[in-house]
A and B are shown apart, each in its own frame.
Chain A
Amino acid sequence: MSSLVLTITETLRYRGALGQWSWVLHRISGLGVVLFLTLHVIDTSWSVFYPALYVKAIAVYQTPLFTIGEFALIAAVVYHALNGLRIAILDYRPALWRYQARAAWIVLGASVLLLIPVFILMFGHVLNFYNDPERRVLPFADVLESQLPFAVGIVLAVVAGVLYSGIHGVIAPRKETPTDNMFRRPVGSRWEKFWWSYMRVSGFLIVPLVFGHLAMMHVIQGVFDITAADYVTVGTNVVNQTGTSVEFVANRWNYLVGGIAVWRLYDIALLALTVIHGFNGLRYVLTDYTADSTLIRRGMIYTCIIGALILLMVGGLALLGTIDQTAIRMAEEAVAKLHP
């Protein structure tokens, strides 16, 4: 913890060049995106498991707080993606380091340029929604209350992680960084080597997938269009007849091209790549600042493993599940109950 405080205060005081601020933005945007990813995978899974809860979750997404969050999310994803490409390219071609500062400016400029039209289009959806006299917006208190389970869940994951770490410490003999007996020196970690490559390779794969996903869900159609009746669900030729968010998901996941559920496959790839990338990134951040305590540092690693496994399981099961007419009917009832 003290090392986190020191790093924050001294990063603000040290007059590093642009690269330092790129790194700060990369961390902040990454943390923001992984937080949203956690909420998003869990509540999207509700479209399969608890249609009524999913209806509520989308209603929450349509409130002002989450609209602001949505704009921040898109900005974070775009910056993180472009800066990630910069880092990966420089890591694979160290001789290009001379262009790093220029590349950092290009990343900033390209992010802004890309975000301007995107924000205009997204703002169009927002205006559309608020111009509709029949719009229904959940009260702020409901929004906060609906996020309480997530906050509790995150705290529980951290507590469980530290608890596991404690048990690990009791069971396993205390072992410092493994050292070679002859030299008393640290020994290479195949895992860290794998993760270094994974972060970069997965980054290259995630960028087109995530940009496609964001274009469909936030730009072409926005969060508000998910619950609009008689809209053709984005990425399909099927009309969302009930205008429920559950039918929207069903339309996408049941849409077949040549007998293949393309959006399910797309989402499976997206889920696996982003969750593992996100939680390994979270592990990097958390372990950087907890080096002083084995208990806490190992606990943070367990927390990341727990988080990633839960999301992969919940998201994976949902993506393999079915959304039938009963679920859509339940969603319709939930809408009626939510906005009496």
Chain B
Amino acid sequence: MDVTFRIRRYNPEIPGKDKPHWQEFKLSDVEPTDRVLEMLHRIKWEQDGTLAFRRSCAHGVCGSDAMRINGVNRLACKVLVRDLGNRIQVEPILGLPVLKDLIVDMEPFFEHYRAVMPFFVNDTPLPADGRERLQSPEDREKFDDTTKCILCACCTTACPSFWANGKYVGPAAIVQAHRFIFDSRDLAGDDRLDILASPDGVWRCRTIFNCTPACPRDIEITKAIGEVKLAIRNGSTEGIIEVRDIKHEA
């Protein structure tokens, strides 16, 4: 099949191309099962070597090729052409400064990520046998969903609150915080809840639900944010996640 790509271009180094603009590329012999990332490669390799985009693993694991594809945030490596039709529009994710073409500056995003202390905190002595800190399967399940985040920024840059205000910590950072806040072995939950209770923390979430469908890992993001809000309101994580709420993957 023939596919027309419409790509948002921007190159600050070349006069005449230093304003964001659209450029069309035509591709033939496209298989319906081809992924958008492969098509971007073909454009770059066969038609225009200056096209700039990020990708690393190309298999939906590293999270570096988040883009707005036909209006919604996706990973270019996880979207098939057959799910998009023969006119495909690609532009950078929104709310982060565009550096070149489809590449955005992720630093503000990672700054929010670092702000929520996304690391395990527990300075108490190890158990007597010197091995791991044990946890019941039920307690492990409570944050299972939020361990899946790959920091691709699809959710955060799908959020109208983040578009409006880049200081908002954003869905991804809250998901990352959720992973530790609801971990029974971690001891810094109160600190994280305090960070997220700041004016630019969870309160900027208006329960819009743009983040949840944007997630390429199917994390129940708005639910996780809601659980963090309730934990802040209650001053405790007790009783917020009931294990029967957790879906068991077959």
Which residues of A come within 8 Å of B, CB atoms?
3-4, 6-7, 10-11, 13-17, 19-20, 22-23, 87, 90-92, 94-95, 97, 100-101, 177, 183, 185-189, 192-193, 195-197, 284, 288-289, 291
CA distance A295 to B85 in the complex (A): 47
> Considering only CB atoms and an 8 Å cut-off, how many residues of chain B contact the other chain?
47
Is B72 located at the chain interface by the 8 A CB criterion? yes
Q: Counting chain A CB atoms within 10 Å of each CB, which of B68, B166, B203, B220 scores highest?
A: B203
Q: Are A91 and B229 in contact (CB under 8 A)?
A: yes
Q: Are B160 and A3 in contact (CB under 8 A)?
A: no
Q: Are B163 and A10 in contact (CB under 8 A)?
A: yes
Is B79 located at the chain interface by the 8 A CB criterion? no
A22 / chain B contacts, CB cutoff of 8 Å: 208
Q: Are B226 and A14 in contact (CB under 8 A)?
A: no
A185 / chain B contacts, CB cutoff of 8 Å: 115, 117, 191, 195
Smallest Cβ-Cβ distance to B212: which chain A residue: A97
Is B230 located at the chain interface by the 8 A CB criterion? yes
B70 / chain A contacts, CB cutoff of 8 Å: 15
B193 to chain A, nearest CB (A): 7
Q: Are B164 and A4 in contact (CB under 8 A)?
A: yes
Q: Are A187 and B194 in contact (CB under 8 A)?
A: yes
A189 / chain B contacts, CB cutoff of 8 Å: 197-199, 203
Q: Are A196 and B158 in contact (CB under 8 A)?
A: no
Smallest Cβ-Cβ distance to B203: which chain A residue: A192
Q: Are A97 and B209 in contact (CB under 8 A)?
A: yes
Q: Are B230 and A92 in contact (CB under 8 A)?
A: yes
Q: Counting chain A CB atoms within 10 Å of each CB, which of B70, B115, B206 scores highest?
A: B206
B237 to chain A, nearest CB (A): 13
Q: Are A13 and B71 in contact (CB under 8 A)?
A: yes
Classify the secondary structure of A's interface with B.
helix
B176 to chain A, nearest CB (A): 14
Q: Could you list 15 further interchain pairs (A-B, Cβ under 8 angstroms) beyond the known A14-B68, A15-B72?
A: A10-B94, A11-B160, A14-B72, A20-B209, A91-B226, A94-B230, A101-B209, A183-B191, A186-B201, A189-B197, A193-B197, A196-B203, A284-B206, A289-B164, A291-B166
B203 / chain A contacts, CB cutoff of 8 Å: 189, 192-193, 195-196
Q: Are B198 and A16 in contact (CB under 8 A)?
A: no
Residue of B164, B200, B245 near A95 (CB, 8 A) is B245
Selected A-B contacts with CB under 8 Å, 30 pairs: A3-B164, A11-B160, A14-B68, A14-B72, A15-B72, A16-B72, A16-B160, A16-B210, A19-B207, A20-B209, A22-B208, A23-B160, A91-B226, A91-B229, A92-B230, A94-B224, A97-B212, A97-B220, A97-B223, A97-B226, A177-B198, A177-B200, A185-B117, A185-B191, A186-B201, A196-B203, A196-B229, A291-B164, A291-B165, A291-B166
B161 / chain A contacts, CB cutoff of 8 Å: 288
Q: Counting chain A CB atoms within 10 Å of each CB, which of B224, B232, B233 scores highest?
A: B233
* B residues 210-247 touching A (CB-CB < 8 Å): 210, 212-213, 220, 222-227, 229-230, 232-233, 242, 245
CA distance A196 to B70 in the complex (A): 34
* B residues 153-176 touching A (CB-CB < 8 Å): 158, 160-161, 163-167
A39 to chain B, nearest CB (A): 26
A31 to chain B, nearest CB (A): 14
Known A3-B165, A91-B207; judge A196-B233 contact (CB<8 A).
yes
B166 / chain A contacts, CB cutoff of 8 Å: 291
A182 to chain B, nearest CB (A): 10
Q: Counting chain A CB atoms within 10 Å of each CB, which of B158, B194, B209, B220 scores highest?
A: B209
CA distance A188 to B222 in the complex (A): 20
Q: Are A192 and B227 in contact (CB under 8 A)?
A: no
CA distance A192 to B194 in the complex (A): 12
Is B204 located at the chain interface by the 8 A CB criterion? yes
Residue of B193, B208, B210, B224 near A188 (CB, 8 A) is B193
B225 / chain A contacts, CB cutoff of 8 Å: 94
Residue of A4, A16, A95 near B208 (CB, 8 A) is A16
B95 to chain A, nearest CB (A): 9
A288 / chain B contacts, CB cutoff of 8 Å: 161, 164-165, 204
Known A95-B223, A187-B194; judge A23-B208 contact (CB<8 A).
yes
CA distance A296 to B24 in the complex (A): 41
Q: Are A291 and B167 in contact (CB under 8 A)?
A: yes
A291 / chain B contacts, CB cutoff of 8 Å: 164-167
CA distance A188 to B203 in the complex (A): 10
A10 / chain B contacts, CB cutoff of 8 Å: 94, 160, 163
Q: Are B195 and A188 in contact (CB under 8 A)?
A: yes
Smallest Cβ-Cβ distance to A96: which chain B residue: B223
Q: Are A20 and B208 in contact (CB under 8 A)?
A: yes
Residue of A7, A90, A100 near B164 (CB, 8 A) is A7
Q: Are A188 and B197 in contact (CB under 8 A)?
A: yes
A297 to chain B, nearest CB (A): 10
A229 to chain B, nearest CB (A): 48
In order of increasing CB-CB distance, the 5 nearest A-B pairs are A94-B226, A188-B197, A15-B71, A19-B209, A186-B198
CA distance A95 to B191 in the complex (A): 24
